[in-house]
Amino acid sequence: MAKLPQRTGLLRDAIKERIVERILDGTYGPGERIVESAVAAEFGVSQAPVREALRDLEAMRFVESQPHRGARVREVTTDELIQIYPVRAALEEVAGREAAARISEEQLAALGEELAAMRRAADDGDLHALMVSDTRFHEIIVEASGNDVLLDVWRSLRVEARSLVSALKSHSDLHAIAELHRPVLQAVQYRDPELAGKEMRAHIEFFGASVISHLSRP
């Protein structure tokens, strides 16, 4: 386990990201209680930064707290996902346009590395690894936009990724999923803002429709 930073604010943020990762990869399932003392003991910290991290995650709607029962992973409804995906599509369209104009060579290389990692994960049949690289691929583009407000809002919507994993478990062709990222990468490489925005929106809308269709099945 990587060592956590010692400064209070950084420590809280590091714990928050660790908990988010576990929610997204299913380690903490919907409705599961997150015990402050257990998390603190695992990370070798006091309960104060854990409590602060959970408070932040409640504001971000990843967890919900109940009196005398602590924090639990919040369940996301199909109706909520129907509302989330158009917002995320709009955000990533803006991110794609801005990133195409501003992205660095290092960030472009990182995008290529994440696509290569998705292809390797597809070869191995490793959905979890594919989703880790998928999330990082999108995060790089949002970071490259240079818009901190957009980045904060985008991160708050990651709760829907848990439902995406569930939907994609029924998708047999992981290679096809990986290759859906190629048009996005190419548009950003061309530094074509309009094309990059269009490809990002289409990409998110496709996955949103897939998730909602999967979750709407009886």
- Tens-of-pLDDT digits for all 218 residues of the chain? 445 555 555 788 899 988 988 887 778 888 899 999 999 999 999 999 999 999 999 988 889 998 878 899 988 777 888 888 899 999 999 999 999 999 999 999 999 999 999 999 999 988 878 888 988 999 999 999 999 999 999 988 876 666 666 556 555 688 998 999 999 999 999 999 999 999 999 999 998 888 777 777 76
Say what the pTM is. 0.80
> Please, how many CA atoms are within 13 Å of residue 96, restricted to the half-sphere of its CB?
29
User: Does residue 85 share a domain with residue 32?
Assistant: no
Residue 211 is assigned to a structural domain of this protein: yes
User: Does residue 156 share a domain with residue 175?
Assistant: yes
Residue 97 amino acid letter: R
Helix (H) / strand (E) element for 73: namely strand 70-73
Q: In what order do the strands lie in the sheet with 33-34?
A: 33-34, 70-73, 63-66
Residue 122: give its domain's CATH number: 1.20.120.530
Pick left, alpha or beta for residue 183 (phi over 0 → left; psi -120 to 50 → alpha; otherwise beta): alpha
Measured CA distances, 120 to 61, 141, 162 (Å):
33, 21, 21
Using alpha carbons, select from 199, 167, 175 the residue that is nearest to residue 186.
Answer: 199
Q: Which two tokens stand for residue 87?
A: 């917002």
Measured distance CA(31)–CA(109) in Å, rounded: 39
Residue 132, pLDDT score: 83
Residue 161, pLDDT score: 63
Domain that holds residue 120: 78-215
User: Does residue 112 share a domain with residue 26?
Assistant: no
Residue 8, pLDDT score: 52
Residue 59: give its domain's CATH number: 1.10.10.10
185 contact partners, CB below 8 Å, separation of at least 6: 111, 112, 115
Pick left, alpha or beta for residue 170 (phi over 0 → left; psi -120 to 50 → alpha; otherwise beta): alpha
Measured CA distances, 121 to 23, 118, 143, 170 (Å):
20, 5, 24, 16
Residue 2, pLDDT score: 47
Using alpha carbons, select from 110, 13, 94, 84 the residue that is nearest to residue 54.
Answer: 13
Measured distance CA(194)–CA(197) in Å, rounded: 5
Residue 162, pLDDT score: 61
Are 161 and 77 in contact by the 8 Å Cβ rule? The answer is no
Residue 107 is assigned to a structural domain of this protein: yes
User: Does residue 151 share a domain with residue 106?
Assistant: yes
Separate counts of helices (H) and strands (E) for the chain: 11, 3
